[in-house]
Structure 1
């Protein structure tokens, strides 16, 4: 029996582990068998995480977080959770080998996954011109020509933000009108650095070690043409990794886990959520880390109150 189990190894999960471990709760953290470290493992230079004035590589940052969690006796298991049972006072999670692990509290911090185009070279050129985060990587495209794929608010926000750095920003959209809100559309339309490419998708990404361009395909007649680029930002949405808790925790209309106010408390007592899995808006490493702190403190208070109730009940017998 564990005091606390943490599912997820991104900034939220490891920060929750650091706080829980320092509180003496000896957390058991499931770091996944594949996606250890979360989305930051696909990011090269991270220059906006406090404490690293010269910047730090995404994988290096996650390694430091892991080492800090382990320093305070967090037990890390490199395995996936395939099933959860939050129905009783004792929470149960099942790992891929069929082992059932029990705890008084669970922190669910599985993050989110950026939607991808599904192209052959998309992953290969990730961090080498292909990005899903303008605030993370925009700085590296000063005086460059880049494109943003998408037509929603996120795409307009990314495109507008990227004009701070790039000389030219194309917005590539599969339709002839945007899904974005009127104010976000107008902001993009009014920006002289942004040019829209309508009724077009991307059928190929080019480049050996760095993005050099894309092949555009018309969604009207299927014709193709080449577009030279230095970078490609994909903003077609992201999906919180909540598949394990569908029907077990209350979700929001955006598909994230619902929590009480600014807390990490979910609809089930003893189950807490942190990071991108509860955040449809910001999705930054630093906000996820802060959310992990909240979850650990909430879980600590929950366990302390539970222990106090049991002690009071035992004394009354």
Structure 2
């Protein structure tokens, strides 16, 4: 009897190509989400990044509402909301309302990183010092506040000897499932301590995954919401009918990540033909190759086998695919056919 294959989910940063407007990129995301819904993917998460020319995922709650409204079954969530950028009450209100509108389908993934450069972080917090050390220091408290305020009973806020009731939404009947996200052992420890589900950013970091998951599992304390550790793996993926085609389609995103890692100018994601004309020094080519080796790039059978292998290696029953395939010149601006094909070929 063969082992059960891991469930598949989707992570989306709403990439913006050189041939797209923001509206085009959002349209492509909605098409991708509908494809994931039809193909039986478990969940669809949207990231939070700011002031990046190639990423339109600046506001997860807005995107979650759009995606949940365009789909019928799939769970939709944030991967994640960067909590130091936001007042806990605002996050609680947003996700309580989303859960009320789409009961049983909303995930709240919370991260501690700023998701942007220091100047943008400063602007996000109304010029009040950016993502200050205080916001990061109080992160565990802010997580508790979000969880408490989303509860149907709300919380009592003590001010000048009186207790004021505070609820994220008036008549909640359910709450989103809340996850902690991270790329270091900090969130692994915190999730274990609070008995929360946890995801390590394997797709971005590529190292430290095994150690973070082991720490989370070994330190986990059961909570009323979660009896045992719950996690999954994230991975960048480009799948096409042939290995050669997949390698071509991976090139634009590899160059975008190279620019990010080496401090180059960030720009909208190149089309495949544009990327193929770029000449890079040998050290940069070697760095791109190292990144590519950690991704899932290839034909369907080999790519799915690689995902199964990763799931077995890290002991997870779910893999969240970040479909990063690029597009060719002449592609419909409001579509990302190669990203949708990645999902279809893996399903």
TM-score (norm 2): 0.27
Q: Which has the larger radius of gyration?
A: 1
More strand by share: 1
TM-score (norm 1): 0.29
More helix by share: 2
